[in-house]
Each structure stands twice: as C-alpha cells, then as structure tokens.
Amino acid sequence: MKYGITDNKRGAVLLLTFIMMVTLAVVTAAFLYTVSVRIKGASVDMAGDKAFWLAEAGIQDVIYRLSNDAAYRQSPDPIDELLGSGNYQVNVDVQGSKYTAVSTGTSGIVSRTVTQSMTLDTKGSNVTITLEKDWDESVPSS
C-alpha cells in the first residue's frame, strides 16, 4: 500500500495554490493602489492648506502696509511675494475709506483665493483698521 498524494491530487493542490497566490497578488495590488491614491489625495489637501495660509498671509501683509505706509494707503500697488515653498499675490481695490483685498496663495499647482474687506480710519498718526466679519475663500475650478 502506498501512502501519500496521488498524481491527480497533486495537480489539484498545485491549481489551488496557484489560485490562492493570484488572489493574494490581486488583493495586495488593490491595497497598494488604494494607499497610493490616499497619499496623493493627502498631498493635495496639504497643498490646499498651504495655499490658503499663503493667501491669508497676503491679507496680513496688506493690513500691515495699510497700517504703516501712508503712500500705500493712497495708492496700493499689487503685491507679489514668495514665501517658503509658495507665493501670494494681492490686489487691493479702494472705494473711499473701504479697501477690498483679494489675495491668492499658490502652493505647487493648488491655488486658494481669500477676499477681505476692511475700513480704514485715520486720525492724525493713528490708523484703525476694521475688518468686515465676512470674508470669502474661493477654490478655483480646474
């Protein structure tokens, strides 16, 4: 009497092992694909956050210049500054004592725009800037 696996059963075991290996390879590939997509999504989210804070830095730059530079208050020039790994661009519209700053921050290929309205009150050498409560953040469509 012979003990062990016969030739027919060996073929079946080989086929079953092959099917399990292919299944495991497909599951592993799907997992790796999902991880890579999530990593790319996270990097875009991070770039979006950087772009927003760069746009906010542009607004703060305008507030600083309006507070400290009388010539800038009279004729605010556009601002284009590099900051870290990104940049911001700000344009200011003046309507009497009301200033509207539109700041766009860019990090990599992602841009965010923040609009802030403010009122300027100058009494002698004192400058008071009152920010409007509402500001707008827009995300450009691609």
Residues 64-75: pLDDT tens digits? 999 999 899 889
CATH architecture observed for domain 7-138: 2-Layer Sandwich (3.30)
Q: Would you state the structure tokens that stand for residue 88, as one six-digit string?
A: 């911001």
- Inter-residue long-range contacts of 65-71, CB under 8 Å, 24+ positions, other chains counted: 66/99, 66/118, 66/120, 66/127, 66/129, 67/127, 67/129, 68/127
> Would you say 44 and 110 are in contact if contact means Cβ atoms under 8 Å apart?
yes
Residues 5-31: pLDDT tens digits? 555 677 788 889 999 999 999 999 999
Residues 77-106: pLDDT tens digits? 999 999 989 999 999 999 988 999 999 999
> Would you say 88 and 79 are in contact if contact means Cβ atoms under 8 Å apart?
yes
